[in-house]
Amino acid sequence: MGVAIGLGVAEFPFSDAAAYMRWVQTCEAGGIDSIWQTDRLVSHAPFLEAMATMAWLGGATKRLKFGMNVVSVGLRDPLLLAKQCATVDYLSQGRLLPAFGIGNRLAPDWKATGRETRRRGRRTDEGLELISRLWAEDEVTFEGEFYQYDRASIAPKPVQKRIPLWIGGSSEAAIRRTARYGTGWQGAFEPPAEIGEVVERIKAAVAEAGRSIDEDHYGAAFAFRFGDWNDPSSRQYAEAFQSRFARDPRQNMVIGSGDEIIERLAAYNRAGIHKFILRPIGTGDDELIEQTERLITEVCPWLDVVNGKKAA
């Protein structure tokens, strides 16, 4: 599969559904690999619900793959989530890229729904086991701390015989979770200088678990903008990022030329990363689409070069 670039959004940045459709069509026509939607249930800011968006993307496109980055398993019922994923994958003829995580304990979803953040990791582990088994087995009986199933089954099964199950997070618990359940790993904020160590730790844990993850199933994410750090859109995004995550935005943003974006992609690739979720930075529909078009024309040709070299 080689190196691939997908695009993602968190808050809904478009003026309406028609503008979002224009952007998705731009990605579809331009050869973008996949579209990703951040999962957020409780928010004053506009966020699309991830699983409903997956279903819409399946019907609105013919080639694009799509995934959620990442669904918090502890906030959802595993049987319903497994059924939703299987249905979307079946109707889209195998284009779903499901990605799961534990969820940020500071997210408002937990308090708003009266759910404990304590032991949410264990709840997630049980949910992931149930989801993976429901996709593969005819009937699932399970007696856990949080879930008890008696001969549960879903049909139709996913079209993908080994449907991807991407895991997010770089804590020791997340690494163990990836080694036990994952077919891929998706990074979040780790810069190239740090992400290689995480990949190596995951590979060691996977080997210890007696499993395997394909070499090109390790991912990273960052935001990009063709422009200048003094652009209003750049400043606004950087300030919001630093305020929310208390991290240096320059580690998770590339502002500048196509060559600078390629340089960051190449640095990640040297560290073992093959799949990317890039977030365009812009204000307004036209600017977001322009940023995407420039990525397609100025950056995506690098994929042909790097993948050609690997194939050769």
Q: How far apart are CA 30 and CA 79, in angstroms?
A: 36
Q: What pTM was estimated for this model as a whole?
A: 0.91
In the chain, what are the domain boundaries? 4-311
The DSSP bridge pattern shows strands 96-97 and 65-68 to be parallel
Question: Tell me, what's the pLDDT at 86?
Answer: 97
How many angstroms separate the CA atoms of 96 and 86, rounded? Answer: 9
DSSP 79-113: HHHHHHHHHHHHHTTS-EE-EEE---TTSHHHHHT
Distance CA 64, CA 261 (A): 22
Quick one: 4-311 is in which CATH superfamily? Luciferase-like domain (3.20.20.30)
Per-residue burial over 192-222, b = 16 or more CB atoms within 10 Å of its CB, e = otherwise: beebbebbebbbebbeeeeeebeebbbbbbb
> What residue type is 134 in one-letter code?
L
pLDDT in tens, the chain (312 residues): 699 999 999 899 999 999 999 999 999 999 999 999 999 999 999 999 999 999 999 999 999 999 998 899 999 999 999 999 999 999 999 999 999 988 888 889 999 999 889 899 999 999 999 999 999 999 999 999 999 999 999 999 999 988 899 999 889 999 999 999 999 999 988 999 999 999 999 999 999 999 999 999 999 999 999 999 999 999 998 998 888 888 888 889 999 999 999 999 999 999 999 999 999 999 999 999 999 999 999 999 999 999 986 543
pLDDT at 312 (0 to 100): 38
